[in-house]
Amino acid sequence: MIMDKIALLLAIVGGLNWGSIGIFGFDVVAFLFGGQQSAMSRVIYTLVGLGAIWCISLLFRESDPVEERG
């Protein structure tokens, strides 16, 4: 599913950003989009959070959609 891939990509972006904060003390999203309080940064943070919530559903799926096609 395309939504699964988008959500996974967003979760990866969030994970890499948190890794950057933890290791280097550097928030890449805030740097790229004008600080943590900028509207664009908040949109990115929100999308990452929604993507992570979507990824929770991946844990509870019965089967892989790729297997159902073939």
Q: How far apart are CA 40 and CA 32, in angstroms?
A: 9
- Dump pLDDT digits (tens) for 18-61: 999 999 999 999 999 999 999 999 999 999 999 999 999 989 98
Domain boundaries of the chain, sorted by first residue: 2-60
pTM, entire model: 0.79
Do the beta carbons of residue 11 and residue 1 sit within 8 Å?
Answer: no
Pairwise CA distance, residues 1 & 66, whole Å: 9
Return the HEC string of 4-30.
HHHHHHHHHHHHHHHHHHHHHCCCHHH
The pair of three-digit structure tokens given for residue 31, joined into one six-digit string? 């740097």
Total residue count of the chain as it appears in this document = 70
